[in-house]
Amino acid sequence: MPVKVKLVMMWDITPEHEQEYFEFVIGEFVPGIQRLGLEPVEAWATLYGDYPQIQVGLLAADLPVAQRILRSDGWEELREKLFAFVRNFSYKVVPARSGFQF
């Protein structure tokens, strides 16, 4: 049986692009990752402390599916557009479990 994995992404929003960032995430990024086959399951915002401002968790059916998506042109396009609004981007793929995964 395939083991679901979670793509955990972290970043900081560039202050001068906050409005454009939110419009992009709602209007293009979330629908785009869903079309690629990732399921948004959580989004966290850091309000205090020295941690990434945003953390997002996306589920994939299994590791090969996640790897295929991360190598796709569609992912590359979405990621490059996101980079116009964020800094300090990082991600990792981990075995999925419920709750916060940092």
CATH number of 5-95: 3.30.70.100
- In order along its 102 residues, the chain shows pLDDT tens digits of 778 999 999 999 999 999 999 999 999 999 999 999 999 999 999 988 888 999 999 999 999 999 999 999 999 999 999 999 999 999 999 989 876 655
**Partners of 75 in beta bridges:** none
Residues in CB range of 57: below 8 A, 6 or more apart = 6, 7, 8, 40, 41, 42, 43, 101
